[in-house]
Structure 1
Amino acid sequence: MDGATSSTWAAWGSREIATRAPPMPSGTATSGPSASGGSTTTTAGPPRRSSPSACRDRWRIVSLMASDRLGALAQVRLRIALLVVGGVLGALAFPRTDWWLFAWAWLAPALCCALARSPREALADGWLAGTVFFVILLRWLDYTFGAYSAIPWPLGWLPIAALAGYCGLYTAAVVAGVAWLRTRVGAGWALAMAPVLWVAGEWIRGHLMGGFPWGLMGYSQHGVLPVIQIAELAGVYGVSFLVLAVNTALAGVVGLGWRRAMPGALVAAALLLSSLGFGASALGSEQRAARAHPGSVTVAVIQPSIEQTIKWDPVHHREVMAIHEQLTREAASSHPALIVWPETAAAIFLRADRELLARLTALSATLETPLLVGSIDREATTRGKYLNSAYLLTGQGIRAEYDKIHLVPFGEYVPLGWLIGFVRSWAEFISDFAAGRTETIFPLPGAPFGTVICYEVIFPELFRGFVVGGAGFMVNITNDAWFGRTSGPWQHLGVLPLRAVEHRVAIARAANTGVSTFVEPSGRVSGLLPLFERGLLHHRVVLRARTTLYTRLGDWLAYGCLGLGASVLGFALFRRSRTACSGI
């Protein structure tokens, strides 16, 4: 079956593999016995371009050496099994299983397919592996749809599958890109572009149509502190690049053989070893800086553990507020500089509720401690939408307010609402909020800080804006009760160590039902309250002492990968296929 015309299903089922020798160019001198047993000699003629049949075969030719190693991929069941298992293992590298070593190898089977199959077939292979990866990674959404929507099970898996299928397209594009480049720049150089294309794809996924940068490969290493220290240089994309470089080296060794893959494998090994060396040195430096740097404040966070079913029920409003106020009084015993409540802890229009506002203002005055309170507000227009807000309260009332800038699609707003607004009736978690516009720096004396609300913490550039704006430490308030006891809250938490390392900034996190914690500038998690456990934490938060390269330059590596990827693809587009000319 020809790869250029096969369907996606046929691509997965194709048994053709790179086992042919390259066609002999027309006009080449040959000698050997004839069919009759005699000797025949053809005089070399002028070189001519490869025949159309040779051009059609160019996708299937890597090299004779590679054909032996990749021959197993001709078995359809084995190939699909390897791609599916790879996708599953890649997802298991993330919380809450945290089998992080799998992240370094899960994509190798798909990249091996790129060395043996046409771009169209590789596109199908990559999409299968990527879609399986995201279906497993996002499995926690099944709880949310089951508990808070009118969509019956198993139909709730349809939007999950649709989202996973969309995200899988980025994996597909990387694998197909390697297969396409293989015939124009050679298999080795094509593989070398895989980490570049991957990082470019992650950045695009994080920005296109509002962005969904969940499950970036660098987050799989959130607990491996020596590895993630390079985030202060290149952000989470630097960690993703490193992980994909090792995946690529493994694919090269398997698909091309050790001799041909040695240069790339040595480069990947050098990147890994230098990153680990940098990480070990950076961790030591951070420990010494934390002991020597006098700038710090004590921050307390409360975790009220209010079930989502009663959180917004007016009947339980006084009971819910009493729980928050009692935890706040207990937290004041450690004399913190700030007490943090979770997202929408005051599930009412705080600014408009004079009684509640007066009570919280009096509480702050009595405790002599500012409160950061999550609540909701409304735009100052006649038909103003809701705002997801955080208020800094002192004994004088509201000192400052931050309105959430990056909203959750199909959670806090409906994209293309004028067209598909009817989906709001499908689930109670779909709201109609407006986005804020200003990155507020809260004026805590001697320790200004920024706040990101819930989903915003997964956006590196948004988080960076607060640090550039002068935040000495960061706060993340969230309500992950929507996700129950699934892996969702843990995956959300796994983002924070990368944000901390990127800017060498401490983060305090208050979550309604967990996981509340503190993250040090090194990325180390210092104490946490488990899911659905009521309580409080307090910690000495070290203030940001220096500006990292990532803080200065932002996503420079991602921009570089976008530029390099576009340049190489453009160059290859106008270059004759090396396979058609030389069979390499």
Structure 2
Amino acid sequence: MKNFLLALLSGFILAFGWPTYGFPLLLFIGFVPLLLAEHRIRTSKLRWKKLAVFGLSYTAFAIWNYITTNWLQYADVFGASFAILVNSMLMAILMVFYHSIAKRTTANISLLFLMCLWMAFEKLHLGWDFSWPWLNLGNGFSEYFTWIQWYEYTGTFGGSLWIWVVNILIFKTVIKYLTDQSILALKSNAILILSIIVGPILISLAIFHSYTIEGEKMNVIALQPNIDPYSEKYNVPNEAIADLLLQLTDTKITDQTDLVVAPETVFADNVKIHQLEDMYFKRKLDVYLAEHPNANLLTGISFINFITDSSQIRKQSNYHRSGIWYDDYNSAMLLNQSDSVQLYHKSKLVVGVETLPYQEIIKPLIGDFMIDLGGTLAMKTTQEERSVFTTDQPNLIAAPIICYESVYGEFVTGYVRNGATILAIITNDAWWGETQGHKQHLSYARLRAIETRRDIVRSANTGISALINAKGEITSSLAYNTQGALAGTLTSNEKITFYTWAGDYIARIAIFVALFVFLITMFRRSRVV
């Protein structure tokens, strides 16, 4: 019973340490009760130890996953259930691996393995087909951005490492105290732990107050049309959407406006790529931009491309009918008076909504199963490179980041390495209603600003649209579920941060260490406890 209570405690501590409602200091002790429960099981005479560790871990992680991401159910109950239950299972499996290693080696080596294994798991969640990095530990400081200005050197894996180091030190201190009952050792360890928590915060505060945002000023507008994606978005013609966007733009535009940003797939009535120039809504936009020649319009749009040549069929192409396939794109486009249309196709897709993971295995079992969020039930086609949008102004090069892509740190650095001087996030967070979902998504954007030291303009269909500076501060925003336009100034930046250059190097080191420890310890006999 005590072990079960410890597992419950871990789950609730981790959950209540999460943004945008929690206090991240709790994350520094979140794993300690679960580690104590595992230690009690490992040193007991219980028969089914691995099963007990898995069950307790699953309980803790299911609580954490459910409290922090239950808002997914407002989009799709099955998708939410799958994400919460499977992610909790994967986390619990990590604890079983740790349990197996801990029986074969010293406490320090096994805890090092657990820390590195967890970060390897977080790295996996950034790249595999079931990608779900929402609960990667480094994201937990997104609301307390003044604590993590050093993310420009480490990315979010620096935060994950920080959390695990403190949890491990606290766990070891508790075990030592329970063994030796030494108050003196408790005090000395407490000083070390406090310094490891406070030290990085003080360094970050020093960076925050000394960092100067320098560069060319850009006048931008973020549009928030507030269209209900369940009942309106896919039923309103593109011409009517164009009229609405231009009406909103008119409320804020001036001769000095450089960039207007509209949300993800705001033009939701699928456009055939080769027919874009002939579309009436496109002509409306062109006429408006001719009246405002300094302005650039970056907007989301849905494209479709039919394929009759079998040699052009891709893995992500969708079957239409005999002899005809099609590619379905969630795209961004940039329009102005000087250049041809620039396009980018979303590359980090939402599992089950925009892509079918491991379709070679899953398709024969369940067919073309996709979750319906109001649009077409089709897999999206992606592109490999991170395209950036250029303008007549050499200092205005925008990264077209579409929705879920903004959760991926190293992925976003690809735009910056390709020359982006500002980040433009376009999204539609209306699927989740008035929950923590859209708030967390906005909050995570702060992390991208700090990692790359790029200002952000964020246009969200129903909100929260915002302007974020390179220090992670939200300088202005539009409230959720309101219609309007947000005007402000961003500063372009051409400098490259260390993290932009090095990427997730901490995770790569962790993968190597975890694999090395596993190989040298897994095949040893269990130690006598």
Distance 2:40 2:521 in 1: 19
**Residue in structure 2 matching 1:173, options 86, 93, 109:** 93
* SS of residue matched to 1:325: helix
- 2:363 counterpart residue number: 418
Q: What do residues 463-520 of structure 1 show as CA deviations (whole Å, max 9, x unaligned)?
A: 1111111111111100111111111111211211111111111111100001111221
Distance 1:532 1:522 in 2: 27
Unaligned runs of 5+ in 2: 43-48, 309-324
Distance 1:204 1:271 in 2: 27
Distance 1:349 1:159, change over 3 A: closer
Alignment of 1:58-457 (within 5 A): 76=1, 78-118=2-42, 120=50, 121-145=52-76, 156=77, 159-257=79-177, 268-286=193-211, 289-290=212-213, 293-314=214-235, 317-333=238-254, 335-349=256-270, 351=276, 354-368=279-293, 369-379=295-305, 381-382=307-308, 383-396=325-338, 398-415=340-357, 416=359, 418-419=363-364, 420-424=366-370, 428=374, 430-444=377-391, 445-446=393-394, 447-457=396-406
Say if 1:229 and 1:283, in contact at 8 Å, map to a contact too.
yes
Q: Does 2:448 match 1:524?
A: no
- Look up the equivalent residue of 1:278 and give its one-letter code: I
Distance 1:509 1:264 in 2: 44
Distance 1:512 1:373 in 2: 11
* SS of residue matched to 1:387: strand
1:453 Cα offset (Å): 0.4
- 1:52 counterpart residue number: none
* SS of residue matched to 2:380: coil
**Residue in structure 2 matching 1:572, options 500, 505, 521:** 521
Distance 1:267 1:170, change over 3 A: farther
Alignment of 1:475-514 (within 5 A): 475-514=424-463
Q: What do residues 542-565 of structure 1 show as CA deviations (whole Å, max 9, x unaligned)?
A: 222422211111110000111111
Distance 1:453 1:427 in 2: 17
Say if 2:416 and 2:452, in contact at 8 Å, map to a contact too.
yes
Say if 1:312 and 1:347, in contact at 8 Å, map to a contact too.
yes
Distance 1:236 1:418 in 2: 34
**Residue in structure 2 matching 1:459, options 387, 408, 426:** 408
Q: What do residues 48-98 of structure 1 show as CA deviations (whole Å, max 9, x unaligned)?
A: xxxxxxxxxxxxxxxxxxxxxxxxxxxx1x332332242133223333423
Distance 1:531 1:441 in 2: 28
* SS of residue matched to 2:41: coil
- Given the two structures, how large is their TM-score scaled by the length of structure 1? 0.78
Say if 2:388 and 2:399, in contact at 8 Å, map to a contact too.
yes
Distance 1:359 1:565 in 2: 57
* SS of residue matched to 2:344: strand
- 1:541 counterpart residue number: 490
- Look up the equivalent residue of 2:31 and give its one-letter code: L
* SS of residue matched to 1:218: helix
Over the matched positions of the two proteins, sequence identity in percent amounts to 24
- Look up the equivalent residue of 2:402 and give its one-letter code: I
Say if 1:361 and 1:396, in contact at 8 Å, map to a contact too.
no
Q: Which has the higher contact order (CA 8 A, sep 6+)?
A: 2
Distance 2:161 2:94 in 1: 13
- 2:311 counterpart residue number: none
Distance 1:353 1:425, change over 3 A: farther
Unaligned runs of 5+ in 1: 1-75, 146-155
* SS of residue matched to 1:332: coil
Say if 1:94 and 1:491, in contact at 8 Å, map to a contact too.
no
* SS of residue matched to 2:382: coil
1:576 Cα offset (Å): 4.8
* SS of residue matched to 2:487: strand
* SS of residue matched to 1:140: helix
Distance 2:381 2:277 in 1: 18
Distance 1:332 1:504 in 2: 27
Distance 2:402 2:40 in 1: 46
1:400 Cα offset (Å): 0.9
Q: What do residues 273-324 of structure 1 show as CA deviations (whole Å, max 9, x unaligned)?
A: 33123202211232xx22xx24231221111111113433445655433221
- Look up the equivalent residue of 2:197 and give its one-letter code: L
Distance 1:256 1:228, change over 3 A: same
- Given the two structures, how large is their TM-score scaled by the length of structure 2? 0.86
